[in-house]
Amino acid sequence: DTILVATRNAGKVREFTLAFSALGLQVKSLADYPLIPDVEEDGETFLENAFKKAMTVAEALRIPVLADDSGLAVERLNGEPGVYSARYAGEHGNDEANNARLINNLQALKADSEQYVLADGEEAVGLSAAQFVCALVLYDPNTKQSYEAVGTCDGVIVEQPRGNYGFGYDPHFYVPSYERTMAELAPEEKQRISHRGEALRLLMQRLSLGVGH
Ligand code: ITT
């Protein structure tokens, strides 16, 4: 069996593939449907955007679709970049440019920084508390039912990037309880504590209980 995730983000695809393989499900993404146009993400919340992505693609293909809208909310930036996380450095930005903008904006505040200990005994300069958010919507075009879930993960933005796992803002997202950045956590570990992992577990619960809209 397969499940279609309406995303063109390769990092998300890797994480969903890992999560769904445990359930014997194969993941397809919009990389397998190059003719589906990009859905404009003009919602004010992660859930609105996830719903729009899931419904648009599901109605076009007439099959159930899962969509993920996610991002980073940074306390000292009043919740930015939020729903603009993917476009923080502009429409044609990439992870590297987004991370550079994030660190520059925080350094420009010249706010007090804090020291955090890393697992190898090194110290990291913490610039602000932050939260990852992931909104998931599964939409079934046959019943017009949708199932939603939101997961969060708390951390600290650190100045120096560390780690090679993950994607996006992971190298700058320090998880205090692990004394590592999200990019230093193996995929299975990230899934256990991440916003996406939490949202997925909640979604599965709601699906099995039939709690949809
Ligand atoms: P799709 O809309 O095609 O799914 P996208 O990359 O545009 O892909 P979003 O609009 O949801 O997805 O933007 C998510 C942004 O937040 C993007 O910049 C990601 O790098 C970042 N992000 C989301 N989840 C993350 C995670 O687990 N670790 C690091 N960064 C993450």
Note the pLDDT tens digit of each residue in 72-109: 999 999 999 999 999 999 988 899 999 999 999 999 99
Active site residues: 69
Query: Does ligand 1 have an atom closer than 6 angstroms to the CB of 12?
Result: yes
Which ipTM value was assigned to this complex? 0.99
Query: Does ligand 1 have an atom closer than 6 angstroms to the CB of 197?
Result: no
Q: Tell which one of 4, 7, 12 to mutate to probe ligand 1, the residue whose CB is within 8 A of the most ligand atoms.
A: 12
Instruction: Extract the tokens encoding 172.
Output: 């700058």
Q: What is the dihedral of CA 115, 116, 122, 125, to 10 degrees?
A: -50
Under-50 pLDDT residues of the chain: none
Question: So what's the pLDDT on residue 203?
Answer: 98
Query: Does ligand 1 have an atom closer than 6 angstroms to the CB of 172?
Result: no
- Classified by CATH at the fold level, domain 2-209 comes out as Maf protein (3.90.950)
Question: So what's the pLDDT on residue 119?
Answer: 86
Whole-angstrom distance, CA of residue 122 vs CA of residue 193? 23
Per domain, the residue ranges of the chain are 2-209
CA of 121 to the centre of ligand 1 (A): 30
Question: So what's the pLDDT on residue 146?
Answer: 97
Query: Does ligand 1 have an atom closer than 6 angstroms to the CB of 148?
Result: no
Burial class (CB in 10 A: 0-12, 13-18, 19+), 132: buried
| Shortest-distance atom of ligand 1 to CA 182 | 28
CA of 119 to the centre of ligand 1 (A): 26
Q: Which residues contact 90 (CB under 8 A, 6 or more apart)?
A: 97
CA of 210 to the centre of ligand 1 (A): 28
Bridge partners of residue 181, in order along the sequence = 174
